[in-house]
Amino acid sequence: MSAQLRLYNTATREVADFKPLVANKVGIYLCGATVQAAPHIGHIRSGLNFDILRRWLTATGYDVTFIRNVTDIDDKILHKAVHEEIPWWAVAAKYERAFSDAYKALNVLPPTYEPRATGHMTQMVELMQRLIDNGSAYAPGNGDVYLEVRKLKSYLTLSNQKLDDLQSAEDADLTYKKDPRDFALWKAAKPGDPSWPTPWGAGRPGWHLECSAMAHAYLGESFDVHGGGLDLIFPHHENEIAQSQSAGWSFANIWMHNAWVTASGEKMSKSLGNSLQVHEILKKVRGIELRWYLGGAHYRSMLEFSFDALEESSVNFRRIEGFLKRATDLLGATPEGIISAGFTEAMNEDLAVPTALAVISEILKSGNTALAANDLDEVKRAASEIRGALSILGCDPFDPIFATDSSSSAETLDGLISLALEQRQAARARKDFAASDAIRDQLAALGVVIEDTASGTRWSIS
């Protein structure tokens, strides 16, 4: 059994033992959403994958500081503001709320801190000043500020590219840039756009600058893990590294990237329409089921979305839930979650969730056998190990977070069937067998099968 967590590091392209910079503590920075539209499942996968990492680290004894930023000023937000005829900040607030709702529905824990870009202009100006003072950046006088990429030897090592191979943008304007590949830390204000003052003129930050400044503000000059989607490796993460290392900070120790959700083999995009927005899918399945499906693939594997696969996954999840419910009824108490050796081994190997799911499946099999044999000790062990595993995956049906989502309909169902069974019991007690049989038959017609056992009446949905 592997007692040591091992993680894949994009920077070294290998899986290696995880060693925190400070004993028992972990700092994680995850690039969060640009809040310009309601999230679809492709937007939410990153938050969900890194939530599993965070839960696993916490469960294994680490004190985790988890930062996920909000990019609340951006070209896309400004375009949306024009389109929706509301102020840019109202667009940002509206979609930030939509993201928060989606994260909550999927039981993605709130980050320790969730900084907004617009709340950290001072830190961004300080970082630019530092970079200009040490000769890494320049302000050519047009209100922009650029980083001089040629000065940083390690530039492009994350994405394994060479600077000389990097195509410069065709429209690169060399009136102000020293090199076409230099990138903007800060962009001069255009008339009518929101802007913030700096010693080099009013304007707004480039996206990359935000993350370097906020990661530094909350996690310091160096921290353990920086995460994001695969598509952020270049240019976003390369440019974050360039800014932070040019400032003299060692920055992230490990880089982790989640793969995309694809539809028909393509990266999911807005052009697929609104049907894959989280709040639309939640009309079809419960949050816990959508999470079970999205979190079930390995974080580094592409997840090809289909409603058929989602349905199949939900049915599988309901089987596990059904076992936990029957076990709870039999034991007369909710099982405490415990982490099994098999689950630990899977999670420690670069968060191998598919292997962990196979472990859960085996435990479920032996749990169901034990249930049939009325082997209480074995039922308890299986139920506890399953609950422990589900809680790390964020899919614990007993988690109160799910009591308020659409699973409350499951509770209502539970209550209604219990009521019918009480009425049936009462009819039998007064020897009105016609009434008790009628209740059983009506339940059967609705697909509810009841079974009288020595320990009481059990029910299941056929």
Stretch of residues binding Zn ion (CB under 5 A), selected from 29-37, 85-93, 347-355, 427-435: 29-37
Angle between helices 41-59 and 376-392 (to 10 degrees): 120
| Nearest distance, CB of residue 409 and Zn ion, angstroms | 38
Kindly tell me which of 211 and 382 has the beta carbon lying closer to Zn ion.
211
Rg for the chain, CA atoms, rounded:
27
Select the residue interacting with Zn ion from 28, 48, 108, 211 (CB under 5 A).
211
Count of residues that interact with Zn ion, criterion CB under 5 A: 2
Q: How far lies 11's CA from each of 53, 103, 141, 144, 390, in Å?
A: 18, 28, 35, 30, 31
- What is d(CA 367, CA 320) in angstroms, rounded to the nearest whole number? 10
Stretch of residues binding Zn ion (CB under 5 A), selected from 177-185, 208-216, 323-331, 367-375: 208-216
31 touches Zn ion (CB under 5 A): yes
Stretch of residues binding Zn ion (CB under 5 A), selected from 25-33, 164-172, 284-292, 391-399: 25-33
- What is d(CA 291, CA 391) in angstroms, rounded to the nearest whole number? 12
CA 103 to chain centre: 7
Q: What is the enclosing helix (H) or strand (E) of 461? A: strand 456-461
Kindly tell me which of 31 and 149 has the beta carbon lying closer to Zn ion.
31
Stretch of residues binding Zn ion (CB under 5 A), selected from 10-18, 204-212, 370-378, 404-412: 204-212
Kindly tell me which of 31 and 213 has the beta carbon lying closer to Zn ion.
31
- Sketch the per residue contact string, 217 through 236, with Zn ion: x for CB under 5 A, - otherwise: --------------------
Instruction: Say if residues 88 and 77 touch (Cβ distance below 8 Å).
Output: yes
| Nearest distance, CB of residue 173 and Zn ion, angstroms | 25
- What is d(CA 109, CA 51) in angstroms, rounded to the nearest whole number? 7
| Nearest distance, CB of residue 407 and Zn ion, angstroms | 34
Stretch of residues binding Zn ion (CB under 5 A), selected from 37-45, 205-213, 364-372, 428-436: 205-213
Kindly tell me which of 118 and 344 has the beta carbon lying closer to Zn ion.
118
Q: How many residues does this entry show for the chain?
A: 462
Kindly tell me which of 238 and 321 has the beta carbon lying closer to Zn ion.
238
| Nearest distance, CB of residue 284 and Zn ion, angstroms | 32
- What is d(CA 342, CA 345) in angstroms, rounded to the nearest whole number? 5
| Nearest distance, CB of residue 236 and Zn ion, angstroms | 6
Sequence-ordered list of residues with C-beta below 8 angstroms from that of 183, at least 6 positions apart, any chain = 146, 147, 149, 206, 208, 235, 239, 242
By the criterion CB under 5 A, which residues form the site for Zn ion? 31, 211
